[in-house]
Chains A and B, each alone.
Chain A
């Protein structure tokens, strides 16, 4: 048993697709328990029994389409018009813009490529230091994971069987905390940078807002619709996909009909990659729960740490390591079913666990040696990976502090969920 597990871990580290590793462990488990392996078919067909999953392809496609349009450029223009005059202002609003963009595009690194590539030269022109700019755009690339309708939040809701609406509410304050802390740092670092604060102009604000008139209603409609209880999440996803399709292809014509099949296909390759892992882990999770793995795990953890405080410390360390080696989607699907019962055993609220989990995984995007954002930024801005490590470090430390605050202050997450 242990030999097989070690072999599978080795194969995973050598680069075997995760779905194959998970499926192999599930089938091995079922075979040992004398369960007929046709159960794999039943479990995978389970994908068709979770209605909320529909939101995943629809939001992913909308996100891909938005990033191919002129929306990132318009977002930067508005940001500059609104706060470009304040010392550190452009940096602060860049963070907010990236967070908004990531919430809608699902944290697949697309923020750095679409938005960071525009912000980076804009920041440079506004007189910010090179390494500050690099660190900012790299770390802002995954900011916003905690805001609706981000894909990882939805996936956590599916896997943990927690209401997605509560997760969306739970993410608001912790997500804001992360943005505010980085913004405060940006202000502090640039307090002496009075090089040439751009001028504030009402005309530019008006023009830039007018230019984005088609996109501006989107966050209002989608977020208002979800938080206001008008749409279910998968309906909001359908509305978003259709709306973005109409404005980008038919009204603004920034994406031609000829480009559309490629964008659809690329976005669905990502969706296929995520959902196939979810499908096989439906099987492995059921096997593990049947054989009582979470209970054993809980007993083990309880023997090691006996307080909630101790558990939280252990959890954070575990999640940091996890985030450094595993991408966020696989981590949610694989690990959440195991640690959720343990966390609940220690009296932790499932929504709080979700927010802590995602916040900690967000650090994983920036943690050497394998953080995804570091590679994307190094590739996109043609900088050595070590210079990206150094530039990102202060931002990483601040985000780490925010994760600790989020973890030990559950009321922050649960504020909108009282009663």
Chain B
């Protein structure tokens, strides 16, 4: 898809990948270190951080969302995909266009409705880990789905242009 993007979009895309990759590394490393130090503290020093379990679960949510966004950029979401193998070139492109716009639409809807959930949580001043506003941690949900929606919109536009030019789909 790179050749269709102008300079600034391509640069944004690279920046996005870099941010996602760094976040995944950072999140995973924090999970490993925090979870192991919890075990060491508990077994050898009979202590531990009271906030650790909640932080670990938030880290997991963030990892899940960033991992899902990263999966969508390579179009590597888990899918069944049995029919498209049997479709001839142009029909395959058409099917892909349909599927990608559908995915973009669904992700966009989730992003919007989870944004409303996060907004409510902000208005009602929900708290996590004692006195942290919950919406900060929850906002990864609308953000992640918005990014997935954006990615599939770009895929869909690419596939649509191949349908118009009468080309087969690309893997």
Indicate whether A and B interact. yes
* Chain A residues proximal to chain B, CB less than 8 Å: 11-20, 23-24, 27, 37-42, 44-45, 47-51, 53-54, 57-58, 61, 231, 234-235, 237-239, 241-242, 245, 260-261, 264-265, 267-277, 279-280, 325-327, 329-330, 369-370
Interface residues of B in 77-122 (CB under 8 A from A): 77-84, 95-96, 98-99, 102-103, 106-107, 109-110, 113-118, 120
- Bound-state CA distance A272–B46 (Å) is 34
Contacts of A268 in B (CB 8 A): 24, 27-28, 63, 66-67, 70
Shortest Cβ gap from A51 to chain B (Å): 6
In the complex, besides A54-B57, A58-B35, A271-B64, 17 extra interface pairs with C-beta distance below 8 angstroms are: A16-B99, A19-B78, A20-B102, A20-B106, A27-B113, A41-B113, A41-B114, A45-B138, A48-B61, A238-B31, A264-B25, A264-B28, A265-B25, A269-B67, A270-B67, A272-B64, A277-B78
Q: Which residues of B contact A (CB under 8 A)?
A: 21, 24-25, 27-29, 31-33, 35-36, 38-39, 53, 56-58, 60-61, 63-72, 74, 76-84, 95-96, 98-99, 102-103, 106-107, 109-110, 113-118, 120, 137-138, 141-142
Nearest-neighbor residue (CB-CB) of B72 within chain A:
A17
A17 to B80, CA, bound (A): 8
CB atoms of A272 and B84 under 8 A apart? no
Given A238-B35, A264-B28, A272-B69, the answer on whether A15 and B118 have CB atoms closer than 8 Å is no
Taking CB atoms, residues of chain B closer than 8 Å to A19 are 68, 77-78
A48 engages B21 (CB within 8 Å)? no
Q: Please pick, from A38, A264, A275, the residue contacting B120 in the complex, using a CB distance under 8 A.
A: A38
- Which residues of chain B are within 8 angstroms of A13 by Cβ–Cβ distance? 80-83
Listed by A's residue number, 12 A-B pairs whose Cβ atoms lie within 8 Å are A12-B79, A13-B82, A15-B83, A15-B96, A17-B79, A20-B77, A41-B142, A48-B61, A242-B32, A271-B63, A272-B70, A273-B71
A-B contact count (CB 8 A): 202
> Taking chain B's interface residues, is the majority helix, strand, or loop, or is none over half, making it mixed?
helix
Q: Which residues of B contact A275 (CB under 8 A)?
A: 60, 63-64, 67-68
